[in-house]
Structure 1
C-alpha cells in the first residue's frame, strides 16, 4: 500500500511538472507582450496549482468553437455592408486632417469600416442630461430601439427608462436589449427581464458565465460596449452604463460615478447599429443588419463632422484600439489629455506617453482619486513614478469615480467611447470608440476635461517620491500582475 501511495505521489508530481512545463513553453511561444508572459509565468510558479488552473481558464483568448464559427460566417455579409458605404459623398478620405488620415487608413485596411462625415454630435456630461435625452428619444421612437450595455442596474432613472421602453413596445416599436451576463447579474436576478419580455421586448444575455463553459471557452470575456440606436437614425455611445449613480455601488466608498455619453445623428448612426447587430447575431444567431444610412451621392460638395467608428474585441482585428491610441499619441504636437477610471497601460502606451512628454508635449492624465478596484488602484500607482519623471502631469479627481474614457490631442482630435486604459479593454473586452474630427465637439470635450481638472489634485513628484516603503512594496507587487488586469 505504501508503494502504491508513493507511486501515485510521484505520478502526480510528474504530471504537474509536465503540465507546468508544457504551459510555460506555450506561454513563451505565443509571442505576446513580454510583460504578459512574465506575469503568467510568475502566477504559475508562485501559486503552483492555482496558477496552472488560472491559465487554463483565462490564459488564452478562446471564444469557443460555436461562437468562433459563427463569427467567421458573419464576416462576409458585414464586410459587404461596410463596403457599400464607400460610394457615398460622406466618404471623402482626401478631406481628412493629418490626425485622422492615419487612423482612418488603419481602420479601413484592417476592418473595412470607413470614416463618414455629416454627423451631428452632442456631448451629454451629466446623469440627468443623459437620461432625459435618452427617454425623450425613446418616447419619440417609431420603428426600432436597439440597446446593449455592460451593466444594467435597477433603480431610479434606469427603471424609468425601462418603463419608457415598455410603452414604446406597446405602440409597436421593436425593442431589443443585449446585456453582459456578468456585468448585469443584478438586473437578471430582478423582475425586470420577465417584465420586459412580457411587454414583447427581446432581452438577451451576452457571454453567459457557468462552470460548464470553462471547459470550452474563456469565461472572463465581457461585452463592455454601450450602444443605443433608435430608428436607425439616432445613436448613443460613451462611458455610462444603464445605471442611475444614486442607486449604484453606494457602499463602495468612491462617490457617485461620473460619465458622459455622445448623442449622434447622421451617417454613423447605422454604423453603430451594425456593431450592435453583430453582437446580437453572435449571441442569438438572428441576423438583423440595419438598413444602410440615407446619404447624399458625390454630386454635392462640402464635408464636415467626420467620425470613425472603431469596434474591438475577440474575432475582430487584434489590438486595433491600442494601435489607434498609439497613432494619436505619436502625432501629438502640443497637448494630450486623457481621462480614464482604470489606468494600467501596456508597455507600448507607457513608452508613447513618456516619449510625448520628453519631446515637449503637455501630457495630462486624469484618474479617480479612489477606485472601486483595489488591485487596479495599486497597480496604477506603480506607473506614476516613471511618468512623473518624464514630465507627465497626473491629476486625481475628487468629485466621484471619474468613469469617462476620453482622449483629446492638440485640442483638435478626440477619441471617446467605452475603452479604459488597461489591458482588459485593449485586448479582451468587446469595446467601441469614436475617433472624432469635429472642432466644436472636441472643444466641448476639452473644456469638460478642464472642468475635471478643477476638481482634481495634481500629484507632486517630490511628495510622491517620499511615500512610505509599504506603499512602494504594494505597488510593486501589483505591478507584476498589471498585464493581467
Structure 2
C-alpha cells in the first residue's frame, strides 16, 4: 500500500492556558483604580479649596436691587434678590398670620436669623395660628436637634436624615427635600433658592419669589401633598381644599422622586426648544445632562443668544470642577458663560425670549432634576420676565465672560483633573 504523503506545512496546535486568578486580580485592581481615581482627585481639589478659601473668602460686596413687583392676572409677583429684604417680608407675613403658616426649608441655621424665624413661629402658635414646619434632617445634621424643639402648637416634620435607598442609589428612597416654601393664610406665599440663615441674608446672592393672590394655591397644594405623604402618625392630616382657578400662565412644577415624577426637567427642555431670541440662565451648580446640554447647543446653533451665569467659585468645589468639564463644548457651540465674581450666587432662575420664566429650588444638575424633592414656579408673563432679565443684567455687571480662547489655554493639569473627575458627574 502506498504511504500517504506528509504535509510539512500543517499547523502545529498550541494550547494556551488562561491564568484566571491573575485575570480576575488585574480586573479587580483596574476597577478599583477606575473608582478610586475620581474620588482621590476630588478629595485633593476639596483640600486645596479649603486652603484657598482662607486666603480668598467669598465675601466680596455685590450689586443688589430692591424688591420689584408685577401682576400676573389676579396674582402679584414680587422678586427678591437680597436676603435681608426677603427675610423681612417673610417674618412680616408670619407675624401677621391669622389662621395657618406652612414653612418648608432645606437648611435652617441656629443663628440670629434662624432664631428670628423660630421666635416668629412660636409667637404665631401662641396666638392660635396653626403652624406646620418641614425641614431636611440631612441638611441640618450639624445643627443640634434641640434647636428644633417647639411647643405643641408647632407641628414639626423632620424629613429623615438617612434613607434606605442611599447606598443603592435608589432615587425613590434616597432623594433629599431641597424645597423652600412659605405659605401664610392661603393669601401670601414664597418660593426660591434662599435657605434660612444669617450667611444668606447679606453674603449670598439668591432669588426668591413672593406671590399674593389666588395662585398661592399652587404652593399651598405642594406643601399639603408633601406633608400628607411624609407625616408620621403623631402628626395631623392636612386638608386639600382644591381650587377653581385654572391659570396656565403660573404653575408649580414639583419633582417627586418617590413617584419618579420629574417635571422641572421637562419645563426646561420645552422652554429651551421653543426659544427664538434669547435664553438667560442663572445657576448655582450647572451640570446639565445630555439632553439639556444638546438643547442649549441646538438653540445657539439656530441663532439664539444663550447665556449661562454661575459662580466662578461656589461653596461646592467638586460641582464647580464637574461643570468645567462641559465648558469646552458649550463655548465651541456658541453658548456664552458668565462667571460671578467674589461671592456665591445661589439663584435658580431662567428666562426665555422675554416671556417665559422659572424661579425655584432646582439646580440644573442630576441631584435636582432627577433626584431631590424640588419645586419651581413656571410663569409665562412678559412683566415678570422683564424683572428677572433686569436681575440677570445686574448679575452680569458683577461677572466676567469666559472666552473659548482663555478656556483652551488653561493649565494641562486642570484638563487632566476634569477628565478624571468626569465619572462623578451622574452623582451630582
Question: How high is the TM-score relative to the length of structure 1?
Answer: 0.70
Q: Distance in 2 between matches of 1:307 and 1:329?
A: 18
Matched, 1:446 2:393: no
1:44 to partner: Cα distance = 7.4
Distance 1:338 1:423, change over 3 A: same
Distance 1:44 1:357, change over 3 A: farther
Q: Distance in 2 between matches of 1:369 and 1:282?
A: 38
Distance 1:354 1:44, change over 3 A: farther
1:43 to partner: Cα distance = 7.1
Distance 1:217 1:331, change over 3 A: closer
Relative to structure 2, which stretch is displaced further, 152-161 or 341-350?
152-161
Matched, 1:234 2:181: no
Aligned to 1:417: 360
8 Å Cα contact 1:119/1:307 also seen in 2:
no
Distance 1:122 1:475, change over 3 A: same
Gaps of 5+ in 2: 1-20, 40-71
8 Å Cα contact 1:340/1:420 also seen in 2:
yes
Aligned to 2:141: 185
1:283-322 per-position Cα deviation (integer Å, ceiling 9, x unaligned): 21543134234759xxxxxxx8920111012134544221
Aligned to 1:330: 273
1:225 to partner: Cα distance = 0.8
Aligned to 1:172: 128
Relative to structure 2, which stretch is displaced further, 450-459 or 158-167?
158-167
Matched, 1:209 2:162: yes
Q: Distance in 1 between matches of 2:289 and 2:112?
A: 37
Aligned to 2:94: 138
1:168 to partner: Cα distance = 0.7
1:186 to partner: Cα distance = 3.2
2:379 is paired with a residue whose SS is strand
1:207-242 per-position Cα deviation (integer Å, ceiling 9, x unaligned): 331789869976642001111111122111011112
* Matching residue within 222, 236, 245 for 1:275: 222
Q: Distance in 2 between matches of 1:312 and 1:472?
A: 34
Q: Distance in 1 between matches of 2:261 and 2:166?
A: 23
1:332 to partner: Cα distance = 0.4
1:268 to partner: Cα distance = 2.2
8 Å Cα contact 2:207/2:349 also seen in 1:
no
8 Å Cα contact 1:157/1:244 also seen in 2:
yes
RMSD of aligned alpha carbons: 2.8
Matched, 1:388 2:331: yes
Q: Which has the higher helix share?
A: 1
Equivalent residue pairs, number: 367
2:257 is paired with a residue whose SS is coil
Distance 1:462 1:213, change over 3 A: closer
* Matching residue within 347, 351, 354 for 1:404: 347
Aligned to 1:372: 315
Aligned to 1:200: 153
Matched, 1:479 2:426: no
* Matching residue within 150, 153, 163 for 2:109: 153
8 Å Cα contact 1:423/1:483 also seen in 2:
yes
1:204 to partner: Cα distance = 1.4
User: Which stretches of structure 1, 4 residues or more, deviate above 4 A after TM superposition?
Assistant: 42-45, 210-220, 293-296
Aligned to 1:129: 85
Q: Distance in 2 between matches of 1:207 and 1:118?
A: 38
1:371 is paired with a residue whose SS is coil
Distance 1:295 1:363, change over 3 A: closer
Distance 1:427 1:338, change over 3 A: same
Gaps of 5+ in 1: 1-9, 21-41, 52-115, 248-254, 297-303
5 Å-filtered alignment, 1:43-192, equals: 46-47=34-35, 118-187=74-143, 189-192=144-147
